[in-house]
Every structure is written in structure tokens, then in C-alpha cells.
Structure 1
Amino acid sequence: MKLAIVTAYPPSKVTLNEYAYHLVKQFRKHQDVTELILLTDKTEGNKDLQFEEEGCKITVKECWSFNSYKTIFSVTKAINQTKPDSVLFNLQFMKFGDKKVAAALGLMLPLVCKLKRIPNIVLLHNILEEVDLGSAGFTSNKMMQKIYGFIGSTLTRLILKADTVAVTMQKYVDILEEKYNAKNVKLIPHGTFEIPAEPDYSLPEGPLQIMTFGKFGTYKKVEGMIEAVEKVRQSTGLDMEVVIAGTDNPNVPGYLAKVQDDYKHVPQVRFTGYVEEEDVPVIFNESAVVVFPYTSTTGSSGVLHQAGSYGKAVVMPDLGDLALLVQDEGYKGEFFNPTSVDSLAQAIEAIVTNDAYRLELAKTNYKAATAHPMSQIADMYVQTFQTIIEDKNLDNPKLNNANEVIL
């Protein structure tokens, strides 16, 4: 199979680029994939294609840019040129831009593939029905939220024109089937990026590192975490360091710089900035606790799967998709009220003052993470494509010729 993937890809800073890297890492080793065609956004640096193991040929075509109105045409042109057997879209609603028209035009690409009879799957990481538009940085205006809801429903119907829409949580399947009467939605779990050998769960010498990882400023805010750790220091006397690993959310530039200035009086608060792929294991392995300082959620959490793969205890808000992941996939954490610093402090303290409890959480999360390695996820996508191809009966020459149709 000659498989094309439409996605952002490292060193891109556009959302979901890390997920694409780990999918590619597994697809290239799959026995049924003969070539990968990466239809990516344009970046200044070279694409990260350094893999330890050998695999199939990878062709990169940088054919779209964030917020470009030409994406639908440039990606279609690249598909016409490369002639893939199948196309996978690695998407969320703001993948192609944070401007409404640019984002919507990009999301029409699965329909283009459907019209061209090219087997296609949309991996949809979130659905707007489960996004708190205010907390996620879209809009707090009630009227605008209704407008966004209407636009979101329209775009969802457009995305559902794909052959298959894969989502990472059963709740998403239920909503899409009930609200849109969709018959082509499939649950394919998020998967765990890397699954190292089971760790010994020991911690490095020095202060206990209380770490959070991601893009901050919208529904991920770190002020409460810093204040909570201060409270735990005061109540326990423990030596702890706050580690804020990541960058600003693109919608809130300058957020972390302001936090750093506002809390410069607080000792042992470290801002790492962007974490390169090779440095991710270090950040996780050195942490005692991984905190999710979220006020809402917008999809299945890649960070939770990473934390599990490194055998880490986690502190999570008891809301939305994180709570569902605990229920559906077997993760375990200490929950807190996302509106209360005291609640967050109590959750952190419960772990750092009880090493047996920390180990219990860490081992449970490692077990949950190992249940869905990315190799298994890649195989599920390949099997789904094979089913689509059989249904389309693409061995019929008349159907093969349909791939030549121009938009």
C-alpha cells in the first residue's frame, strides 16, 4: 500500500505534529505499507525522519501552510502528483488554521478524496460537542459560541463524508452516531507513543520534580500548580521543584513569559521551553508527579499516555475526557477540583507523602499504557484501509481511473 498522510510534522509547531511522527515511525515498519507520502505543512527546518530501524521509502511533499486559503488546492495537486493508494488525515478542527475560512477549506479535503474514490480515513482527535469553547480559547461570547456550534456541526458533517472517521474515545463514537446518524465512525484508541522497558520507578536524587507538559495559556494554566506546590512545601517541608515543560498555546502568545515574571519570587520553578523529541524521556523520567492543570479538555490526552508509558503517577482534574480515559483505558490518578488550588495541593501532597501510593499509580498507568502500543494502532489503520479498499473494489480498472479526476 502506498499510503499518504496529510498532517503537520516535526519540526512543525502546528498541533498534532508529534502524533504524526510516532504514527510514521510505525507505519514505515508495517509489512503492508510499501511507501509513505507525507503531505505536510511547510517548515524552515528539515523534516525529522531519523529512525533507528529501517523501513519503507518515505516521500515528503511540503504542500500547505497554516491559515492558507490555497490548502485545498495545493494538497489536491500533491495527491494527483503522488497517486497514493490511500490517504490518512491527522486532524482536529483548527488543524489548517485558526481563521474560519482557511480551516474550513482544509477540512474539505476528505470529501475531495471521497469524490476521487481514493480510500481515506480521517483521524479526528476531538469533536466540538466536547470542547468548552471559552476555556479552550475560542470565544467566551454566548452568541459567538452558538455560531461556532453551528459552524462546527457543518464542518463535522463535511468530515463525515470521509470513508471512515476514526476517533479515540467511545463517547465520541456515541455522539457522532446519535447526533449525525453516522454509520462510518470507528473507535481506534490514541495509543502510546513509546513503551520503554518497565521502569524501576525510582526517582533521581535532589528535589521532587512536579512536572506539567504541553502548550499553555488557554485551558491549560500553570498559576494554580505553582501556588499548589508552594502550599505543599509549607505543609510538608519537602524539597520540590516545579517543572513547566512546553510552550505558549499559539492563541496566547507571551503567556508563559508573564507567568515567569509574575512568579519570579517563587523558588525552584523551571520553564524548559520547547522540548525536543529526544529530550522527552528525560523530562518524564526525572519527574515524581505529572500534573494536568486543565480547566477543560479538548480530546484524548497524549500527555497522559506518555506519562503512563514512563510509569508516572499523575494528578488530574476530574472532568471531561481525562475522567473518561481513566474509566475506559485503565489509567489511575489522584483527582482534584480544577477551580481549587487547595484541592490541587491536596492531590499532589497525597502522592509525594506516600511513596507506596505513588508506586501503585505509576505501575497501574504503565500497565494501561502498554495495552495500546502505536504498532497496534498503525495495524488497526492498515486493516481499516484494507476493508475500505475491498468495499470499493478498487481492483476494477474503471475505479482505478477515477483517481485521475481533477478537483
Structure 2
Amino acid sequence: MKLAIVTSYPPSKVTLNEYAYHLVKSFRQNEKVTELVLLTDETPEGKEINFTENGCKVTVKECWRFNSYANVINVVRAINIVRPDAILFNLQFMKFGDKKVAAALGLFLPLICKLKQIPTIVLLHNILEQTDLECAGFTSSKFLQKAYYFIGTSLTKLILKADLVAVTMDKYVTTLQEKYKVNNIKMIPHGTFEIPKKPSHILAKGPLKIMTFGKFGTYKKVEPMIEAVEKIRASTGLNLEIVIAGTDNPNVPGYLASVKEKYKNVSQITFTGYVEECEVEPLFNESAVVVFPYTSTTGSSGVLHQAGSYGKAVVMPNLGDLATLVKDEGYRGEFFEPENVASLADAIEAIVINDAYRIALGEANYKAATAFPMERITNMYLNKFQEIIFNKEASESIFSDSLSI
């Protein structure tokens, strides 16, 4: 199968590029795939496709730009050139831009591919029905929120024209089926990127690193974490380092710079900036605890799956999709009340003062992560593509037979 994937891709800064990297890494090692064609966003640097493992040919066609109104034309042109056997979209609603028209236009692509008779699957990482627009940084206006939800409903109907829409949580399937009355939705888990055969729970000498990872400024705020660690330092005297790994959310440019200025007198605090793929493993391995300082959630957490794969203890709010992952996939952690510094401090302290408990949480999360390696996830997609192709061929055969009668 010659499989095309429409996605952002490293070194892109557009959302979901890291997920795409691991999808590609797994797809190319599957014997069912003869060639991968990546229809990606344009970046000044070359794409990261120098894999060490054996696998199929990978071709990159940079054919769209964030916030460009010409993305539909350019992507369709690229599809016409490469002529894939099947196509996978790695999507969320603001994939093609944070300007509303550009973002919306890009979401017409699955329908166009369906009309072109190309077997099409959309991996939709979040759904508007489960998104708090104010917390996610879109708008606090109730009027505009209603407008967004109306537009989002229309765009969801477009996306649902694909042969199959894959979502990463069972509750998303139920929500979409009940609202849109469709039966082409399938839950395919998020999956775990890298799974070391035996993660080490031994930490290097020096300060215990309390780490958070992501794009910050909307529903991910780091101030409570900094203040919680300061509180633990004062009450216990523990040697703790704060590690804030990642960048601003595109909707809140300058957020981390303002935090850095506000807490410039706080000792042992590190802002890593953008984390390259090769830096992810050491970042997690060196951390004692991974914290999720969230006030809301917008989908299955890639960071939680990464923390699990490296056998890390986590601290998270017991809300939304994080609570669902704990229930459905077996992750464990210490919970805190969102935006409550004292509650967050208690949760972090419960782990850092008890090494046996830290290790037990890490082992439980590693066990949860190993249940869904990317190899298993990509095989699910390929099986679904084969079903779609078989059904299309069967329908064409029936139609041909009916014409000959």
C-alpha cells in the first residue's frame, strides 16, 4: 500500500508534528506499507526522516503552510501527483491555521479525497463538543462561543464525510454518534511513542527535577506549579529543580517570557524552550515527577503516554480526559484540585518524599503504556484501510455486474 499522510512534521512547530513523527516511524516498518508519502507543512529546515531502523521508502512533499488560504489547492495538487492508494489525515480543528477561514478551508480536504474515491481516514485528536473554548484560549465571549460551536458543528459534518473518523477516546465516539447520527466513527487509542524495554527508576544525584511539558498559556498554566514547588521547598528543605519544557501556546505568545520575568528570583528553575525529538528521552529520564498543571483538557494526552513509557510518576488534576485515561487505560498518579497551589504542593510532596511510592506509580504507568505501542496502533489503521478498500472494490463489482445485466 502506498499510504499518504497529511500532517505537520518535525521540525515544524505546528501542533501534532511529534505525533506524526512516531506514526511515520511505525508505519514504515509495517510490511503492508510499500511507500509513505508525507504531505507536510513547509519548514526552513529539512524533515526528520533519517531513521535508523529498516523500513519502506519515505517521500516528503511540503505542500501547505500554516494560515495559507491556498492549502486546499496545493494539497490536492500534490495528491494528484503522488496518487496514493489511501490517505490518513492527522488533524485537529486548528491544524491548518489559527485564522478562522484558513483553518476551516483545510478541513474540506477529507471530503475532497472521498469524492476522488481515495480511501480516507481522519484521525481527529479532539472534538469541539468536549472543548472548553474559554480555557483553550479561543474566546470568553458567550456570543462568540455559540458562533464557534455552530461553525465547529458544520466543520465536523465535513470531516465525518471521510470513510472513517478515528478518535482516541470512547466518550468521543458516543458524543459524535449521538449528535451526528453516523456510524463511521472508531476509537483507536492514542498509543505510546517509545517504550524502553526496562525503564530505570534510579535518578541521578542532585536536585529532584519536577518537570512539565507542553505548549503553555491557555489551560496549561505553570505559575501554580512554580509556587507549589516553592511551598514544598520551604516546608521540607528538599532540593528540587523546576523544569518547564516547551513553548507558548500559539494563542498566547509571550506567556513563558512573562512567567520567566515574574519568577526571576526563584532559584533552580529551567525553561528549555522547544524540545527536539532527540532531547525528549533524556528530559523524561532525568525527571522525578511529571506534572500536568492543567485547568481543562482537550484530548488524549500525549505527554501522559510519554511519561508512562519512561516509567514516570505523574501529578495531574482529576478532570476531563486525564480522568478518562486513568479509568480506561490504567494510568495512575497523585491528583490535585485545579488552580489550587496547596493541593498541587501536597500531591507533588506525596511523591518526592516517598521513593517507593514514586517507583510504584512509575511501574503502573509503564504497564499502562505498554498496552498500546505505536506498532499496534498503526496496524489498526492499516486493517481499517484494507476494510475500506475491500468494501469499495466489492461495491464497484456489484455496480459493474448490475450494469451488465
What TM-score bracket applies, with the shorter chain setting the length? Answer: over 0.9
Given that residues 26 and 378 in structure 1 are in contact (C-alpha distance below 8 angstroms), is that contact kept between their aligned partners in structure 2?
A: yes
% identical equivalent positions:
71
Alignment partner, residue 214 of structure 1: 214
AA in 2 matched with 1:3: L
AA in 2 matched with 1:57: K
Alignment partner, residue 253 of structure 1: 253
Alignment partner, residue 43 of structure 1: 43
Helix, strand or coil for the counterpart of 1:393?
helix
Alignment partner, residue 166 of structure 1: 166
Q: Distance in 2 between matches of 1:25 and 1:360?
A: 30
Unaligned runs of 5+ in 1: 400-407
Displacement after TM superposition at 1:200 (Å): 2.8
AA in 2 matched with 1:30: N
Q: Distance in 1 between matches of 2:315 and 2:337?
A: 11
Q: Distance in 2 between matches of 1:85 and 1:29?
A: 18
Displacement after TM superposition at 1:312 (Å): 0.2
Q: Deviations over 1:317-359 (max 9, x none)?
A: 1110000000000000101011211110010011111111111
Matched, 1:187 2:206: no
Q: Distance in 2 between matches of 1:324 and 1:397?
A: 43
Q: Distance in 2 between matches of 1:341 and 1:291?
A: 13
Distance 1:394 1:260, change over 3 A: farther
Q: Distance in 2 between matches of 1:80 and 1:395?
A: 23
AA in 2 matched with 1:60: V
Distance 1:108 1:135, change over 3 A: same
Alignment partner, residue 113 of structure 1: 113
Q: Distance in 2 between matches of 1:180 and 1:305?
A: 30
Q: Distance in 2 between matches of 1:172 and 1:51?
A: 33
Q: Distance in 1 between matches of 2:363 and 2:369?
A: 10
Alignment partner, residue 340 of structure 2: 340
AA in 2 matched with 1:277: E
- Computed over aligned residues only, the root mean square deviation of the Cα atoms, in angstroms, reads 1.4
Displacement after TM superposition at 1:159 (Å): 0.4
Alignment partner, residue 85 of structure 1: 85
Q: Distance in 1 between matches of 2:43 and 2:152?
A: 28
Distance 1:395 1:156, change over 3 A: closer
Alignment partner, residue 67 of structure 1: 67
Helix, strand or coil for the counterpart of 2:133?
coil
Given that residues 198 and 366 in structure 1 are in contact (C-alpha distance below 8 angstroms), is that contact kept between their aligned partners in structure 2?
A: no
Tell me the TM-score normalized by structure 1. 0.97
Given that residues 315 and 335 in structure 1 are in contact (C-alpha distance below 8 angstroms), is that contact kept between their aligned partners in structure 2?
A: yes
Q: Distance in 2 between matches of 1:376 and 1:7?
A: 20
Helix, strand or coil for the counterpart of 2:55?
coil
Displacement after TM superposition at 1:167 (Å): 0.3
Instruction: For 1:8-407, list aligned pairs within 5 A.
Output: 8-393=8-393
AA in 1 matched with 2:180: Y
Distance 1:394 1:3, change over 3 A: farther
Q: Distance in 1 between matches of 2:337 and 2:241?
A: 22
Unaligned runs of 5+ in 2: 400-405
Question: Where in structure 1 do 4 or more consecutive aligned residues deviate above 3 Å?
Answer: 394-399
Helix, strand or coil for the counterpart of 2:232?
helix
Q: Distance in 2 between matches of 1:41 and 1:337?
A: 38
Tell me the TM-score normalized by structure 2. 0.97
Q: Deviations over 1:255-288 (max 9, x none)?
A: 1111001001111111111111011011000000
Displacement after TM superposition at 1:394 (Å): 7.3
Helix, strand or coil for the counterpart of 1:316?
strand
Helix, strand or coil for the counterpart of 1:149?
helix
Given that residues 38 and 61 in structure 1 are in contact (C-alpha distance below 8 angstroms), is that contact kept between their aligned partners in structure 2?
A: yes
Distance 1:302 1:289, change over 3 A: same
Q: Distance in 2 between matches of 1:139 and 1:395?
A: 46
Count of matched residue positions in the alignment of Structure 1 and Structure 2 = 400
Q: Distance in 1 between matches of 2:279 and 2:82?
A: 34
Displacement after TM superposition at 1:67 (Å): 0.7
Helix, strand or coil for the counterpart of 2:347?
helix
